[in-house]
Amino acid sequence: MLISAIAQGLLWAVLGIGIFTTYRILNFPDLTAEGSFPLGAAVAVTAIVNGLHPLLAMVLAFLAGMGAGLITGLLYTKGKVPVILSGILVMTGLHSVILYVMQRPNLSLLNFPRVYDVFDFLPAYFDRVVVGVIVLIAVISLLLFFFYTSLGQAYIATGDNETMARSFGIKTDRMKIIGLIFSNGIIALAGALIAQNNGYADVNGGAGVIVIGLASLIIGEVVFKDVTLGERLLSVVIGSIAYQLLLLGVIRLGFDTTYIRIYSASILAICLMIPQLRKGLRLGTLIGKEA
Amino acid sequence: MDTLLKLHQATKTIPNESDLDNTILDHLDLTIRKGDFVTVLGGNGAGKSTLFNSITGTSLLTSGTVTLSGQEVTNWQEEKRAKYISRVFQDPKMGTAPRMTVAENLLLALKRGKKRYILPRKLKEQRTRFEKICESIGNGLEKHLDTPTGHLSGGQRQSLSLLMATLTQPDLLLLDEHTAALDPKTSKKLMALTDQVIEENQLTCLMITHRMEDALVYGNRLIVMENGKIKLDLNKEEKAKLTLEDLFVLFEEEQVSPGI
C-alpha cells in the first residue's frame, strides 16, 4: 500500500510540476489543466490501442497538451480574454476533442502494452516508481536548464514583474504563450502516465486534477521555505508523495472512498490556510525555526 | 544638435460614454535634442505620465506621431522601443523583479532590447563587472548580488533600477519621479547619483519631478505641462535665471486657472 502511494505520488508529481510552471512562475492560474490532463490520457490510450508504442503514445500526448496550451495562450494574449476564462473555454472545448479522439467516453487498456511493462521484472508498483523517477528527472532537468537560459530568465521576469520585463524589451505575451504550451504539454504527459497506471482513459478524468496538482505544490511550499528553484521543483515531488500518503491515511481511517474529492479539497484548503493558522496560533514552522 | 525625439500633435483622449471625452494630451509638440536633460514639472492631471507612456509605447496615441532618431515609432510596441528607451519608475517595486537576485536583474538589463536565446545565461562571467558597478554607487549593493531584490530597501532598489536602466547606454532615459518614494536623505543621494550617471554617459534624459528645487538645479532645459499641453519651455539660459519663487508663482497661477 505504501509503495503504491509513493508510486502514485511520483506520477502525479509530473502534473504538479506542469502546474508550477504557470501558477507559480507566471503567477496566474491556468484552468486548461483540467482539459489537457484527460486529453493526454485520451491521446496516449487511443494511440496504444491503435498499435503505437507506449513511448511514442506519450510523445503524442505531450504534443496534444502543447496544442491545448497554445490555444489558451493565444486567447489570453492576442484575444485579450481573461486567463481564467481562456482556460475554461479550452477545457470545455477539449471535452469534445477527447470524445472525438476516443470515439467513446471511456477507453480501456486491458491487454494492451504500457510504458511500465519495460520494468515488469520488478516487484509490483516498483515499475511505476522507476518510470515516475525517470520522467521527473527528465522534466525537471529540462525545466531547470531552461530557467537558467537567457530566455528562461526573461520567462521568470515576466511572471515576477511584467511592467519591468516589458520595459526591458521582453516580449511578455510570447513568454506567457511559451509557458502555457510547455505547462500543458507536461500536464498531458502526466495524464498519459496516470491513464496507463489506471488502465483506462476517461473523458471526465480531468475533474479535480488542479486541486491535486496545487496540493502537491502547496504542501511542498509549506514544508520547505526559502529554497532554490531546483529545490522548489523537488519539493513539489515530495509534496505530491506526501499528499498521496495523506489520502491513504484518510482512507485507512475508514472514510468512504466514494467521497474522495472532499478529502482532496479539504487537505488543500487546510494547507492553504497553514500560513494564516500559524500566524494566529503563533506556532513554529513544521520543520525548522520559529515563524 | 541632432533631434532625438519628436512628438508631433500628440493627442491622447480617453473615450467617456456619459460625458465629454477626456483629453489627456492635447496636440502636444515636443522636440528633444541629443544631450538634453529636461526636467518636467506639472500638477496632477497635467499629462506628464501619459506623455511618458506615449514615448515608451506603454499606451499608444489617439492621434499624432512619435519619431525617434528620425524613425517613426508611433505604433511600435513598448517591447520594441525598449531597445532605445529605458525607464525608471516612481514605485521602487516596479523597476526590478522581486524574486530574482540583484545579479539576475542586472543580467536581464544587460540584454535590454536584444534577442534572448535558449542558451545558458552566463551570469558568472558578468559577476566582477556587476560587483564593480554596484560598488560605484556606494550603498553596499555589491554585498547583495545574490539577494532577491524584494528584500532590498527602497533606496537600494531605486539605485539598482537606475543602474539597470543605464547599464546599456539607452538613447533616451525617462525618469518618472524616481526619487519621490524615498526619504529626503536617500532621495538626495539618488538624485546626485542620477546626475553623475547622466553626465558620465552623456545621456539624453527626461525627468518628471515634483521637487521644484530639483527641477531648477538639475538638467539643461525645463518644461512645465498643463492640461495636456506644454505651458512653458525654458532653455539652459532661461532656466538659469529662473528662481524658486518664479516657479511657485507659476503654480499658484495654475491653481486658479480654469479647468483645474
Which CATH number is B86's domain given?
3.40.50.300
Q: How would you write A10-58 as a 3-class SS string? A: HHHHHHHHHHHHHHCCCCCCCCCHHHHHHHHHHHHHHHHHCCCCHHHHH
pLDDT (tens digit per residue) in A240-249:
999 999 999 9
Q: Does A274 touch chain B (CB under 8 A)?
A: no
Domain membership of residue B185 (yes or no) is: yes
Alpha-carbon gap, residue B236 to B38, rounded angstroms: 10
Does the pLDDT value for residue A117 go beyond 80? Answer: yes
Taking CB atoms and an 8 Å cutoff, what residues of chain B touch A176? none
The residue to which cell 496534444 is assigned: A64
Q: What is the DSSP string of A168-207?
A: TT--HHHHHHHHHHHHHHHHHHHHHHHHHHHTEEETTTTT
Alpha-carbon gap, residue A229 to A234, rounded angstroms: 9
Q: Are A140 and A19 spatial neighbours (Cβ–Cβ below 8 Å)?
A: no
CA dihedral A82, A87, A88, A93 (to 10 degrees): 130
pLDDT (tens digit per residue) in A171-218:
999 999 999 999 999 999 999 999 999 999 999 999 999 999 999 999
Cell numbers that stand for A184 in this block: 500543458
Going by C-alpha positions, the residue among A151, A25, A21 that lies closest to residue B108 is A151
Chain A CA closest to residue B111: A168
Taking CB atoms and an 8 Å cutoff, what residues of chain B touch A169? 79-80, 82-83, 111-114
Min Cα separation A167/chain B (Å): 6
Contact (CB<8Å) B109/A163: no
Q: Which DSSP helix (H) or strand (E) runs through A165?
A: helix A162-167
Contact (CB<8Å) A168/B100: no
Q: Does B97 touch chain A (CB under 8 A)?
A: yes
Taking CB atoms and an 8 Å cutoff, what residues of chain A touch B97? 156-157, 160-161, 164-165
Strand order in the sheet with B22-33: B22-33, B3-14, B63-68, B71-72
Q: Are B75 and B20 spatial neighbours (Cβ–Cβ below 8 Å)?
A: no
Residue B224 sits in which domain range?
Answer: 3-96+171-256
Contact (CB<8Å) A149/B89: no
Contact (CB<8Å) A148/B120: yes
Contact (CB<8Å) B118/A150: yes
Q: Where are the domains of chain A?
A: 2-204
The residue to which cell 521637487 is assigned: B211
Q: Does B151 touch chain A (CB under 8 A)?
A: no
Alpha-carbon gap, residue A15 to A185, rounded angstroms: 10
Chain B CA closest to residue A145: B120
Pairing of strands A200-202, B71-72: unpaired
Contact (CB<8Å) A172/B79: yes
Question: CA neighbours within 13 Å on the CB side: how many for B127?
Answer: 8
Q: Does B83 touch chain A (CB under 8 A)?
A: yes
Alpha-carbon gap, residue A277 to A283, rounded angstroms: 8
Q: Are A11 and A197 spatial neighbours (Cβ–Cβ below 8 Å)?
A: yes
Average pLDDT over chain B reads 92
Q: Does B59 touch chain A (CB under 8 A)?
A: no
pLDDT (tens digit per residue) in B99-112:
999 999 999 999 99
The residue to which cell 513544521 is assigned: A286
pLDDT range class, residue B38, cuts 50, 70, 90: very high
- Residue spans of alpha helices (H) in chain B: 48-56, 78-81, 102-110, 127-136, 154-166, 184-201, 212-217, 236-241, 244-256
This model of the complex carries an ipTM of 0.91
Domain membership of residue B194 (yes or no) is: yes
Domain membership of residue B109 (yes or no) is: no
Question: CA neighbours within 13 Å on the CB side: how many for A285?
Answer: 13
Task: Please report the pLDDT score of residue B255 as a whole number.
Answer: 53
Bigger pLDDT: B51 vs B44: B51
Task: For chain B, report the end-to-end CA distance as a whole number of angstroms.
Answer: 36
pLDDT range class, residue A291, cuts 50, 70, 90: very low
From the list B83, B117, B121, the residue facing A169 with the nearest CB is: B83
Does the pLDDT value for residue B254 go beyond 70? Answer: no
